[in-house]
Amino acid sequence: MRPALIAKLLLLGVMALAVTLVAVAKSINVAAYRPLLVQAVRQATGRDLVIKGRLSLRLSLNPALVAHDVELSNRSGGSAPVMLRVEKVEADIGLVALLGRHVSIRHLILHDADLLLERDGAGRDNWSFDGHPVTADPSSGGTPTQLDLSQLTIVQGTITYHDARRGPDQHIQLEQFSLDAPIPGAPVGLLSTGTWDGKRFDLSGTLGSAGAFNDFVARTGRKTFPLKLKAVLPGLIMTADGTVSSGRGGPRLAVGLSADSADLAASGRLIGLDLPPLGAARMTVTLNGPLFDPRLDDIDAVLGRRDAGSLAIKGTVADPRRFTGVDLRLLADGDSLAAFTRALGYPLPAMGGMKASARIRDQQGGWVLQNVALALGHSDLTGEVTLRGGLAHPAVEARLTSAVFDAGELLGVAAPAVPVAAGGGRALPLFSDSPLPLNLLHWGDLDLVWSIGRLSDGLFLAQSVRLAATLTGGRLSLQAAAAQAANGTLRGDLTVDGAPSPPRVEVSLAADKVDLGQLLHDLRLSDLLQGGQTDYRLRLKGGGRSLHAIMASATGESLLVMGAGQLAGGPQAPAPAPGAEASAESGLSSMGLLHQIAPWAPDGDGALRCLVSDFILSDGLAKSDVLLADTPALTLVGQGSVNLGTETLDLTLVPRPKDRSLLPIALPVDVRGDLTRPLIGANQGTLVRGTGGLAGLPGSPAVPLPEAAGVGNACLEAVVAARHAPPQHPGKGRKRIVKAPILPRVSELMQELIGK
């Protein structure tokens, strides 16, 4: 056949094809598609489709329906009326399909798309549609249309995500997005590039075959298709591998997800989460369930590094949005507790290695921490903690056990300094006037029991310690007991009731057979005494919103009975001249203080035979009922008061030498001034005119003190004997300051100690 003939036949064929296309195009009523498309979208999504611009058919070897200015409405109550706005939509309907007088959409192109995804304050999203699957009706007439999509392309677009319950909106700028199946039955390739809140991302992968994808989109036929994706963002690589299925409630996932982040906090900000700055993180998890509300199974995450603090998490979360159905195992590990300072935003001490583990579960509207195990430096902690009632008013129940707990290592205990004002003026308040955090009494409810085998702070050591605390209705009750501390036992109770105004406080302390010198040293209070087996009782009630107010209103009793001890030696200050005062500075030894009180006494070894002190408190004023100390050289008897409100002393101490020849020069001494800086001076008015004796001093023994040869307390026996002795009558010319005899009251606490 000649070439000219072939050319003529081809030309005739092309002309015939063109005529056929024109005829077919004229036979297709494009305008009729507008209401049909609107109806189809309405039926499929429950939303309104508006084609505001021109709808036309573009004739070419790839004929296409073209729509301009297309909008899809948002759900009712959304933040904006439009969910999707597209400047131009091109739908490739296929040449062969057009010749067969039906429309088959295989390639959809969106130009300048603007998509809004959002959740409101109640958690309702706008991507859940209320429509139903679209099915063709052969009897409806018109041009048949089917969705046989094999390509989807977005040329420039913006996706905005708004969540009313979280922070600022997130924005994705799409430079390119395409779904493409090159041949029928082949996997659909996905490729997308752009920026996420200004940060570059690349997304690639496959989504199964085009047929499976079309059936999934139309919710007909096959309803499951596989996916395999990889996303790369700055410092973050994520992969997803699994299947997506179409169900009655929308798309459902069965997808394994992995993430590898160089900076956990920065990666969290990309997806709107405020995550702790633990550094690098790795995680794998399986998403099962609805597309936007899946459960999290097989969680395996490692956050941070051991040298900077790491946290490992394994388990499941059935409902991540409500954070219920939680069953997680946590393991925290670090070379130092300070490694978690950055993550917690709170300075922590740089103490030894730390390892903690626990199982956390939600239970009956609350939370339970089981199998708690903590190893921190030299301390340990095990037990179980239960939290109920929510964060607004939690109820915490804890049962804890420690073999060793080193509070000094944890808190960095240092020796407390006596508060002294600059320039040597009046001491700063011993009892602070700053408001106590009493609002915490209404924080929630607490039931705590903590057993500690060995409690220490570096110096202080207590064994077999039991701490119990209850908080309910604004009333806090604390009980503490140590079976062994300073060679004795300690017990204490504290009750703070925040219901009345002002709040009420009750304190009860008991010490049995403790070594007072050792206890004072271990508590970093004083080194003025060595030894001194002591029994002590304190009962105190007060009210107020500060420690100062509580002490200023305190009522109760303080009773101390001490046996033999040794006063610390040191420099001896000169005795004050008549009318002069000497300051009892904190650095002065107890022997120096004793020399100020009795400068005539012979130098001794600092032996203290006994000490009895009984103060009665009323409205912040502690008055001495008994104040008696005995040394080999002298007996010291005191009377007066301590004002806890003004933090001042007003005491008179009367020394009685064992050498009766020294009685004429044994004059009373006044102790006045601030509690933290007392002043010792010669008594301005002799208690008993013409003599330095003890007669008439309340609580002074009327019988000689026995020698400390027996097992009893000489001072206590003298006080008891004096209280049961008949009243003495002062001789002629001797005037008594106190008219009443020694008070006959024998306190309940005194009876308890005497009867031991």
Q: Is the pLDDT of residue 23 over 50?
A: no
Distance of CA 4 to the CA centre of its chain: 91
Please indicate whether residue 5 or residue 735 has the higher confidence score (pLDDT).
5
Res 292: pLDDT? 77
- pLDDT category, 569, cuts 50, 70, 90? low
Higher confidence at residue 429 or residue 359?
359
At 571 the pLDDT is 43
Residue 500 burial by CB count (10 A; 0-12/13-18/19+): exposed, middle or buried? exposed
Please, how many CA atoms are within 13 Å of residue 6, restricted to the half-sphere of its CB? 3
The angle at the Cα of 130, spanning 127 to 133, to the nearest 5 degrees, equals 105
Going by pLDDT thresholds of 50, 70 and 90, the confidence category of residue 398 is very high
User: According to the model, what pLDDT value does residue 14 have?
Assistant: 44
Q: What is the mean pLDDT of the chain?
A: 78
Q: Which of the residue ranges 9-23, 55-69, 635-649, 716-730 has the most confident prediction, judged by mean pLDDT?
A: 635-649
Separation of first and last alpha carbons in the chain: 136
In three-state form (DSSP H/G/I as H, E/B as E, the rest C), the secondary structure along 562-596 is ECCEEECCCCCCCCCCCCCEEECCCCCCHHHHHHH
Residue 618 pLDDT more than 70?
A: yes
pLDDT at residue 591 greater than cutoff 50:
yes
CA 470 from chain center: how many Å? 19
Q: Sorting pLDDT into bands at 50, 70 and 90, what band is 22?
A: very low
pLDDT at 676: 80
Domain ranges of the chain: 21-233, 235-354, 554-754
**pLDDT (0 to 100) of residue 339:** 67
Question: Per-residue pLDDT averaged across 333-361, rounded?
Answer: 78
**Residue bearing the bigger pLDDT, 179 or 481:** 481
* CA–CA gap between residue 520 and residue 539 (Å, rounded): 20
- The pLDDT-based confidence of 275 (bands split at 50, 70, 90) is confident
pLDDT confidence bin for 219, thresholds 50/70/90? low
Question: What are the tens digits of pLDDT across the range 150-172?
Answer: 788 999 999 998 888 776 788 89
| pLDDT of 261 over the 80 cut | yes
Burial of 256 (0-12, 13-18, 19+ CB in 10 A): middle
**Are 339 and 308 spatial neighbours (Cβ–Cβ below 8 Å)?**
yes
Task: Read off the pLDDT of residues 490-525 as tens digits, 9 standing for 90 and up.
Answer: 999 999 999 999 999 999 999 999 999 999 999 888
Burial of 236 (0-12, 13-18, 19+ CB in 10 A): buried
Q: Is the pTM of this model over 0.85?
A: no
